[in-house]
């Protein structure tokens, strides 16, 4: 089966202006000859995504996530490497590709600010050459699914951020794209609005078999929407695999919470760190490659009777933080 997205050794750099340091003479020189620097945003990046997959695309700020999305959408041209989206080369076939992809940029807006979202939806119907009747049906269907109700006829400036984001996603789905690129779609949203957006994205992707590529700094977005994660750092691929494998495979630690008869459970073992202790509850972080979990439980039982326990993988935030820190150390060392 042809991949929905395929990148092969893709690089993209930008020339950015850097202010000259120094006094007045440096500033005068700056007027005539600006000092520029080349920043490598994406560095020989390769990955592929199968149709219908929901992939989280993460990395620290400046890692090259948004640049990659823009290269995939045909907005930016790569300097080197091959890109194919649905079999098309985005930089050369942007027009044809635009009919088959949708984009959502969390910090940008495609809705006309003074007008109700419906006006933008109507415009998009023309932009994508949609049949008037089927477009109206599509608007009605998505409006119902995303529970927009009267919001669709309310001027955008009166909508909350969460309501606006639902409208932005509907606008991006109107032409029934095969792929949806989402750049931080839940940024700035409150907990309940985030939950709504995540649920809608997941169900829409399943219902219409839309491939999702989602960038976010929020691990909740990844865990609740996506099944696979691609991590980049400094424009290079750091990790690519199922989210569960990242949780379990990268950081070999477990969180163990014990409820015992002892108010404080004292456990001094190599590879075991007490995260919290008190009120008959002890939270431990266990490094499995140093001490097996069974030995920790045995030791705890010997100290005091255990009434209950919970064993969890390390939080994804911790895993990702460790992943970034390792990458920083490696790039620092090299």
Partner 1 sequence: MTRFIRRYAAFARIAIAQARRERAELYGRAAFFVVILGVFSSLWRAAADAGLPVAAEPRSLVWYLAATEWIVLSAPPIHLDIQEAIRRGDVVYQLGRPVSYVIAEFASALGLLAFRAPLLGLAAFLCAYAFTGWIPPLGALAIVVPFGLAAAALLTALFLWTGLLAFWLQDVSPVYWLGQKLMFILGGLMLPLTVYPEIVRRIAALTPFPVVLGEPASFLLKDAMVTPGALVRNLAIWCCMTALALGWIFRRARVALTINGG
The CA dihedral of 88, 91, 95, 98, to the nearest 10 degrees, is 70
Q: Near partner 1 by CB under 8 A, which window of 60-68, 144-152, 257-265, 273-281?
A: 60-68
CB atoms within 10 A of CB 312: 11
Identify which of residues 39 and 303 has a Cβ nearer to partner 1 in the complex.
Answer: 39
Residue 291 touches partner 1, criterion: CB under 8 A? no
Residue 103 touches partner 1, criterion: CB under 8 A? yes
Q: How many residues bind partner 1 (CB under 8 A)?
A: 40
Identify which of residues 110 and 277 has a Cβ nearer to partner 1 in the complex.
Answer: 110
**Which of 4, 41, 225, 323 touches partner 1 by CB under 8 A?**
41
Residue 218 touches partner 1, criterion: CB under 8 A? no
Asked if residues 203 and 225 have their Cβ atoms less than 8 Å apart, the reply is no
C-alpha span between 19 and 30 (Å, rounded): 7
Residue 98 touches partner 1, criterion: CB under 8 A? yes
Question: Can you point out the beta strands (E) in 50-161?
Answer: 54-58, 80-85, 101-105
Element (H, E) at 326: helix 316-333
Q: Near partner 1 by CB under 8 A, which window of 24-32, 43-51, 73-81, 310-318?
A: 73-81
Query: Which residue is it, tokens 């003074």?
Result: 114
Residues from 118 through 177 that contact partner 1 (CB under 8 A): 119-120, 122-123, 126-129, 155
Minimal CA–CA distance to 262: which of 209, 322, 216, 302?
Answer: 302
Residue 18 touches partner 1, criterion: CB under 8 A? no
Give the angle subtended at the CA of 316 by the CAs of 312 and 321, to the nearest 5°.
130
Footprint of partner 1 on this chain (CB under 8 A)? 14, 16, 41, 62, 64-67, 69-70, 73-77, 94-96, 98-99, 101, 103, 105, 107-110, 112-115, 119-120, 122-123, 126-129, 155
């Amino acid at each position: 089966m042809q991949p929905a997205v395929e990148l092969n050794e893709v690089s993209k750099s930008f020339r950015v202006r850097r202010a000259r340091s120094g006094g007045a003479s440096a500033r005068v020189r700056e007027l005539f000859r600006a000092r520029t620097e080349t920043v490598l945003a994406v560095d020989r990046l390769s990955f592929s995504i199968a149709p219908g997959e929901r992939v989280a695309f993460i990395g620290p700020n400046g890692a090259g996530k948004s640049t990659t999305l823009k290269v995939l959408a045909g907005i930016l041209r790569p300097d080197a490497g091959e890109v194919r989206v649905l079999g098309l080369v985005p930089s050369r076939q942007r027009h044809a590709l635009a009919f088959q992809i949708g984009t959502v940029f969390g910090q940008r807006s495609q809705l006309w600010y003074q007008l109700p979202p419906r006006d933008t939806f109507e415009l998009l119907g023309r932009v994508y050459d949609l049949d008037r009747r089927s477009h109206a049906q599509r608007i009605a269907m998505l409006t119902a699914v995303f529970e927009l109700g009267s919001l669709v006829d309310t001027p955008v400036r009166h909508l909350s951020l969460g309501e606006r984001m639902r409208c932005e996603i509907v606008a991006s789905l109107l032409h029934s794209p095969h792929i949806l690129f989402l750049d931080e779609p839940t940024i700035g949203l409150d907990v309940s609005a985030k939950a709504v957006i995540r649920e809608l994205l997941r169900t829409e992707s399943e219902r219409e078999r839309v491939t999702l590529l989602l960038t976010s700094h929020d691990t909740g977005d990844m865990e609740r929407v996506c099944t696979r994660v691609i991590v980049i750092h400094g424009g290079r691929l750091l990790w690519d695999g199922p989210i569960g494998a990242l949780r379990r495979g990268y950081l070999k630690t477990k969180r163990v919470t014990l409820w015992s008869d002892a108010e404080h459970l004292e456990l001094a073992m190599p590879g075991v760190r007490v995260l919290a202790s008190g009120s008959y509850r002890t939270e431990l972080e266990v490094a499995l490659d140093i001490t097996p979990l069974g030995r920790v439980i045995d030791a705890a039982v010997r100290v005091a009777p255990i009434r209950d326990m919970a064993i969890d993988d390390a939080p994804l935030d911790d895993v990702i933080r460790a992943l970034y820190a390792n990458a920083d150390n490696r790039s620092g060392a090299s």
